């Protein structure tokens, strides 16, 4: 089924499912890259878990047994979201950054000559750079995959960096600052061609388009639920054999097998219940968009395909609003190239400090962000000072054209 155009996307019904949007009105959420709002079904799942099942897992009484059931169901739902076959490949925890560190420490213990090179990029969030740079202390050699002047990573530039020495390529799926997408399936083909693994930061991509770990053929992938309409939590997916081989900390009575060897200590069960409910929300949206979608995965794909198409419409409208205000936009700026980006826009107004832009938006009841976006090397590539950085407006599928128009009017007044 083709994805619906903007006129067919059920934006009013979508917004009705997010109570925060109505409660905040007339405030506009355009800081979604820092965390999206949660639909009612997620709020109910979190509250319901705290009310009825706020106990530790592993007991014999019914409420404790239910916690185990909730976690098992959440693994299945997240596997559906990712296109994974085995729910045991999904591990839950605090956030994506902690999983990045867990995997990097484990990879560091397996580095041996001559396979001791790690490839990182200057497009990534610093969390997916600094943890790999730290392995240089234990013998890792770092190779840099640089973005081009079009503010995108090109796989042709990665290939010369790869050799039989490459242990792992760490990169983002889409830039949290510029919105630029990366052809991660091509990254995996290139890396696997020399026997290396691929670690993907999928945090910023997750609310915008379908994830398919099988088609991408990555080895590890991390997400944060709060970017994808769930509460604050994170999850790691990895190929079962790769996770099984990782040397991780665990108490001796914990099985040395995924996912339990990855989940040191107790995580936040109610937030995991919320993550499962976020996938339920996407399934419901997919059923609305494509009534013929007859499996959970088909419904998730229908939802995310519809979201992707609608957000391309938002991207074109946002580019127009930024251009009308004379803004300098970093990332893909051609309206015909919005398939190469998500609706995350880092920009500056000539002669106006980013903090001034963000404050003017705040005064107009519009939430955006300013600063270095946790990407110091990217700021340096863009010629921007860390102390000031840029402004960023980030949209998801519950945003509207009318909200973009309000943003554009405020921006034009400020630039004038």
| DSSP sequence for 109-128 | HH-BTTB-EEEEESSS-THH
- Using pLDDT thresholds of 50, 70 and 90, give the confidence band for residue 265: confident
Q: Which pLDDT band, with edges at 50, 70 and 90, does 5 fall under?
A: low
Residue 408 and residue 367 share a domain: yes
Residue 296 domain-assigned (yes or no): no
Same structural domain for residues 127 and 230? yes
Cα 13 to Cα 18: distance, rounded to the nearest angstrom: 9
What span, in angstroms and rounded, lies between the C-alpha atoms of 330 and 389? 12
pLDDT for 8 equals 86
For 378-390, write each residue's pLDDT tens digit.
999 999 999 999 9
pLDDT class of 2 with cuts at 50, 70, 90: very low
How sure is the predictor about 416, in pLDDT bands with cuts at 50, 70 and 90?
confident
- 258-287 average pLDDT score: 96
Shared-domain flag, residues 15 and 55: no
pLDDT average, residue stretch 71-90: 98
Q: What is the mean pLDDT of residues 55-81?
A: 97
245 and 349 together in one domain: no
If you search the block for the tokens 């919105």, which residue do you land on? Answer: 179
Whether the per-residue pLDDT at 332 is higher than 70: the answer is yes
What pTM does this model have? 0.96
Nearest to 173 by CA among 8, 340, 297: 340
pLDDT for the residue numbered 71: 97
Count other Cβ atoms within 10 Å, centred on residue 91.
25
Strand pairing category for 344-348 and 220-224:
unpaired
Q: What percent of the chain has pLDDT over 70?
A: 98
**Distance between CA atoms of residues 84 and 238, nearest Å:** 9
Does some domain include residue 302? no
The CATH number of whichever domain residue 380 belongs to comes to 3.90.1150.10
What CATH number corresponds to the domain at position 128?
Answer: 3.40.640.10
pLDDT 10s digits, 195-236: 999 999 999 999 999 999 999 999 999 999 999 999 999 999
- Does pLDDT of 29 surpass 50? yes
Checking if the pLDDT of 3 tops 70, the result is: no
CA distance 128 to 95: 13
Q: Per-residue pLDDT averaged across 335-351, rounded? A: 97
| Calpha distance 252→76 (Å, rounded) | 27
- Can you point out the beta strands (E) in 187-282? 197-201, 220-224, 234-238
| 405 and 263 together in one domain | no
Given a contact cutoff of 8 angstroms between Cβ atoms, the answer to whether 256 and 106 are in contact is no
> Which one is predicted more confidently, 112 or 177?
177
Compute the chain's Rg from CA coordinates: 21
Q: How many domains does the chain have?
A: 2
Last residue of a domain, one of 279, 298, 321: 279
Whether residue 403 sits in one domain with residue 326? yes
Strand, helix or coil for residue 381: helix
Pair 325, 397 in one domain: yes
Tokens of 179: 């919105």
Give percent of the chain with pLDDT exceeding 90.
95
Domain boundary (279, 300, 322) is at 279
pLDDT (tens digit per residue) in 286-322: 999 999 999 999 999 999 999 999 999 999 999 999 9
Same domain for 71 and 217?
yes
Tell me, yes or no, whether 173 lies in a domain: yes
157 located within any domain: yes
Flag whether 301 is in a domain. no
Question: Checking DSSP bridges between strand 197-201 and strand 166-172, what pairing results, if any?
Answer: parallel
Indicate whether 134 and 58 sit together in one domain.
Answer: yes
Inform me whether the pLDDT recorded for 191 exceeds 70: yes
Per-residue pLDDT at 6: 67
Q: Which among 366, 227, 399, 402 is positioned nearest to 391, based on CA atoms?
A: 366
One domain for residues 86 and 29: no
Tell me, yes or no, whether 137 and 206 share the same domain: yes
Question: Whose structure tokens read 């609608």?
Answer: 310
Residue 226 within a domain: yes
Q: Which residues of 171-190 are buried (b: 16+ CB within 10 A; e: fewer)?
A: bbbbbbbbbbbbbbeebbeb
Tell me if 287 is assigned to some domain.
no
350: pLDDT strictly greater than 70: yes
User: Domain range spanning residue 84?
Assistant: 44-279
Q: Which residues contact 358 (CB under 8 A, 6 or more apart)?
A: 368, 369, 370, 391
Residues 15 and 66 in one domain: no
Query: What three-state secondary structure class fits 41?
Result: helix
Q: For residues 264 and 248, what is the distance between their CA atoms, to the nearest angstrom?
A: 9
Is residue 69 included in any domain, yes or no? yes
Pick the last residue of a domain from 264, 279, 294: 279
Average pLDDT of the residues in 130-145: 96
pLDDT mean across residues, the chain: 96
């Amino acid at each position: 089924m083709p994805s619906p155009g903007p006129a067919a996307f059920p934006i009013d019904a979508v917004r009705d499912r997010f109570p925060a949007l109505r409660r905040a009105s007339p405030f506009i959420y355009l800081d979604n890259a820092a965390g999206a709002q949660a639909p009612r079904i997620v709020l109910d799942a979190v509250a319901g878990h705290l009310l009825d099942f706020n106990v530790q897992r592993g007991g014999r009484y019914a409420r404790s047994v239910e916690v185990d059931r909730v976690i098992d169901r959440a693994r299945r739902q997240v596997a559906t979201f990712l296109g994974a076959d085995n729910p045991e490949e999904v591990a839950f925890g605090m956030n994506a950054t902690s999983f990045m560190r867990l995997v990097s420490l484990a990879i560091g213990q397996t580095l041996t000559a001559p396979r001791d090179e790690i490839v990182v990029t200057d497009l990534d969030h610093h969390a997916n750079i600094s943890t790999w740079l730290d392995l240089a202390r234990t013998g890792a050699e770092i190779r840099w995959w640089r973005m081009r002047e079009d503010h995108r990573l090109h796989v042709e530039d990665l290939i010369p960096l790869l050799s039989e020495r490459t242990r792992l390529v760490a990169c983002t799926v889409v830039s949290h600052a510029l919105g630029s997408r990366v052809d991660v399936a091509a990254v995996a083909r290139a890396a696997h061609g020399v026997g290396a693994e691929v670690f993907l930061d999928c945090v910023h991509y997750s609310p915008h388009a379908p994830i398919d770990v099988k088609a991408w053929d990555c080895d590890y992938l991390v997400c944060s639920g709060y970017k994808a309409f769930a509460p604050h939590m994170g999850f790691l997916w990895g190929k079962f054999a790769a996770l099984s081989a990782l040397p991780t900390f665990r108490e001796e009575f914990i099985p040395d097998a995924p996912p339990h060897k990855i989940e040191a200590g107790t995580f936040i069960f109610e937030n995991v219940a919320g993550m499962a409910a976020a996938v339920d929300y996407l399934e419901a949206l997919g059923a609305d968009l494509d009534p013929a979608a007859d499996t959970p995965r088909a419904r998730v794909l229908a939802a995310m395909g519809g979201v992707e198409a609608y957000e391309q419409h938002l991207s074109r409208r946002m580019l127009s609003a930024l251009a009308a205000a004379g803004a300098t936009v970093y990332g893909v700026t051609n309206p015909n190239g919005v398939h190469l980006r998500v609706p995350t826009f880092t920009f500056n107004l000539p002669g106006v400090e980013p903090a001034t832009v963000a404050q003017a938006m705040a005064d107009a009841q519009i939430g955006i962000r300013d600063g270095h976006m946790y990407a110091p090397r990217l700021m340096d590539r863009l010629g921007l000072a860390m102390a000031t950085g840029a402004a960023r407006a980030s949209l998801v599928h519950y945003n509207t054209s009318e909200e973009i128009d309000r943003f554009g009017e405020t921006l034009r007044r400020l630039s004038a």
